């Protein structure tokens, strides 16, 4: 497992704050068009999606609701293979249009557990919006309707993404690399 305290790790900028801003605006427009006439419920997955969700909903020109679920599956930079629910939904979602907002989808294991759980609550529809899709590492099929960026490798930090709970506040997205 790699830790931040490991001083040999360097950060390399992959996506600048202004590139993120531009892409988030596009996603907001697309969602606004797709859900015209509806009132979707945005479900942010804590904690990683909090910045993306906050920026995204301000680019959506629709009435909407916001809720959060807490899920945890990673320790350091490696999946521990087990998903824990740390917070459940507060709003009723039966018959609603849900848009699940995730920071990054890697193996897809975390999200597939959540999707299964949300489907059992009988929403009218369920879509996934991920800031980053690491498609090459996918272990389970997931229908992801909205993707900010497709990135193939590396451990990423910033814009909500953490390494051992740190670096979420970086305004851009960086890869952690050995120097």
Q: In sequence order, which ranges of 76-153 are alpha helices (DSSP H)?
A: 109-119
Among 102, 114, 115, 128, binds ligand IMP (CB under 6 A): 102
Q: Does 107 bind ligand IMP (CB under 6 A)?
A: yes
In the set 55, 97, 106, 162, the catalytic residue is: 106
Two structure tokens written together for 148:
């900010």
Q: Which does 98 bind (CB under 5 to 8 A by kind): ligand IMP, Mg ion, none?
A: none
Q: Considering the rule CB under 6 A, would residue 74 count as an interface residue with ligand IMP?
A: yes
Least distance to ligand IMP from the beta carbon of 128, Å?
11
Contact 75, 3 (CB under 8 A): no
Instruction: Choose the stretch contacting ligand IMP; rule: CB under 6 A; options: 31-39, 61-69, 121-129, 156-164.
Output: 156-164
| CA nearest neighbour of 162 among 7, 11, 8, 37 | 11
Spatial separation of the C-alpha atoms in residues 63 and 35, rounded to whole Å: 10
């Amino acid at each position: 497992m790699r830790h931040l305290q490991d001083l040999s790790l360097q950060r390399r900028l992959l996506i600048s704050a202004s590139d993120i801003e531009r892409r988030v605006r596009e996603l907001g427009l697309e969602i606004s068009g797709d859900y015209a006439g509806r009132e979707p419920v945005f479900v942010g997955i804590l904690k990683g999606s909090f910045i993306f969700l906050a920026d995204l909903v301000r680019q959506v020109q629709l009435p909407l609701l916001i809720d959060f679920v807490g899920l945890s599956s990673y320790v350091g930079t490696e999946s521990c293979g087990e998903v824990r629910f740390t917070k459940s939904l507060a709003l009723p979602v039966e018959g609603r249009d849900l848009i699940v907002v995730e920071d990054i989808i890697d193996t897809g294991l975390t999200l597939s557990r959540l999707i299964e759980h949300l489907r059992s609550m009988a929403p009218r529809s369920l879509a996934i919006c991920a800031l980053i899709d690491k498609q090459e590492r996918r272990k389970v099929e997931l229908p992801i309707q909205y993707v900010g960026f497709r990135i193939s490798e590396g451990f990423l930090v910033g814009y909500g993404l953490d390494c051992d709970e740190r670096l979420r506040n970086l305004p851009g997205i960086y890869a952690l690399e050995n120097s």
